[in-house]
Amino acid sequence: MRFFAALLLLVLAFAVAETRRGEGLENSRGRKRLNSVKRLPNNCKEYIENGDKYLDCQDCQLTAVLIGWPEDIDHFLLAQNKIKVLKDNTFSHFPNLISLDLQLNEISLIEEGAFSGLSKLTTLLLQHNRLQVVSEAVFVPLPRLRYLRLHDNPWTCDCQLDSLVRFLQVPSNRYMGNFAKCAEPTRFWGQQLKTLDPKLLCSPPMQSQVQLPRPYSDTTFLCHTHDSPRPLLDCRSRGLNAVPHDIPENTAKMDLAFNNITQLRPKAFTTIKDLKLLNLSSNSLEHIDPAAFSGLLHLRELDLSNNSLHFFNYGVLEDLYYLRTLYLDGNPWICDYNIHYLIYWLKHHPAVEHTGLVCNEPEEFRGWPVESYVKTYNAECPKDKLVDLNRGNGPTSQELIEGIEEEPGLLPSPLRKKKKPNEFEIFRLS
């Protein structure tokens, strides 16, 4: 009997273990379903993490918040899009929102009712945008707001910003607006909104006060920095007239497209020696100093398309040892002797892929590949007049001898040739 009783207990124990194992698998499958990612239009993703529902629409080229997205979300990720304006009731159909990430957009205007209905919101990220003025009234519909990021916006510190400055300086708002600084006017440049005296915002500057020029800090107020996957400095469409002076040293990629840079000065990039990609397209560039790219020994991609370049001065490309891609489209290249340096450099760097080298002037060569023009130019030179570039620009020894033979009077009389070959007439000097 004891044997059968023990056997029965073993069977019961095994059955219980199997039952618990099955429940564990079901729970595991349930969690897997819970954390699955659901794809939505416009490349957005919906998923659940730690019990909170997320809507991730980062870097989806969005210009506005669309209708039709899930409305029961807890966290809304809209970073790195192209949103410029937040209109009234933009987020009113997301009443459960706890956090809203709007950094790295192009927001320059927020209407007072933009955040209406977000009574549960605790975190709002607005850094890296183009905000100059915002009223305190914008944040009134957010009674639970605790974390507000406003830095890297070009704030205009005048009377219109008075209410926001006073709002940020309330002691209970100690986690709001930290590191946000004035960009204008000059007398307040670089001062933190947290420490600025609000009484001065509406008062005119003293006449005796000297207005110092604003220090150059375009990267602080105008450019966006991305640390992942590689350090990227995004300065597109920021109205820059020159390359910023305070570029972070660890920058691996830099985008300066669609600005107003007309010339590159010497050693413009010496502080960022690890730069791998540089985009200078659509800048109306007319002149590049021969030392402009000095120090960029690791640059692999250079975009100079859609500028006003006619040719390259000798030496412009000499430091770009590891360059592999060069975009030259959309420039009015002039096909004359000045263009030869660029073709000569490309010929001796066959690993560099390039595009867009087409003659724009003169009329007779318009539309020709620049390489074809250079071949034609060389073909027109008589072979006996070609000069070896490796030996400099001066005449060769053979040319000197031939010139002297044409004018025998140039030789000293003791060495003057007679008419017969290989004979000399000797004169003794007394």
Give per-residue pLDDT as tens, 304-328: 999 999 999 888 998 888 899 999 9
pLDDT digits 0-9 by tens, 167-204: 999 999 989 998 899 988 888 888 899 999 988 888 77
Look at residue 210 and tell me whether its pLDDT is greater than 80.
no
Quick one: 182 exposed, middle or buried, by C-beta within 10 A (0-12, 13-18, 19+)?
buried
CATH number of 219-386: 3.80.10.10
Other beta carbons less than 10 A from residue 167's beta carbon: 21
Closest CA to 102 of 129, 74, 120: 129
- Taking the C-alpha atoms of residue 319 and residue 296, their distance in angstroms, rounded to an integer, is 6
Contact 94, 119 (CB under 8 A): no
Cα 50 to its chain centre, rounded Å, is 35
Strand (E) or helix (H) holding 109: strand 109-110
Contact 316, 292 (CB under 8 A): yes
- Taking the C-alpha atoms of residue 268 and residue 289, their distance in angstroms, rounded to an integer, is 9
Other beta carbons less than 10 A from residue 326's beta carbon: 22
**pTM of structure:** 0.49
Q: Where in the chain is the domain with CATH 3.80.10.10?
A: 36-202, 219-386
* Homologous superfamily (CATH) for 36-202: Ribonuclease Inhibitor (3.80.10.10)
Quick one: 354 exposed, middle or buried, by C-beta within 10 A (0-12, 13-18, 19+)?
middle
pLDDT digits 0-9 by tens, 100-139: 999 989 999 999 999 999 999 999 999 989 999 999 999 9
Which three-class secondary structure state does DSSP give residue 267? coil
Two structure tokens written together for 180: 């946000």
Phi and psi angles of residue 260, each rounded to the nearest 5 degrees, phi first: -120, 35
Instruction: Output the average pLDDT for the chain.
Output: 79
- Taking the C-alpha atoms of residue 239 and residue 154, their distance in angstroms, rounded to an integer, is 13
Please, what is the Cα angle at 85 between 237 and 190, to 5 degrees?
Answer: 60
Look at residue 150 and tell me whether its pLDDT is greater than 60.
yes
Per-residue pLDDT at 430: 42
Look at residue 206 and tell me whether its pLDDT is greater than 70.
no
Per-residue pLDDT at 84: 94
Closest CA to 229 of 293, 276, 271: 276
Other beta carbons less than 10 A from residue 379's beta carbon: 8
Per-residue pLDDT at 395: 43
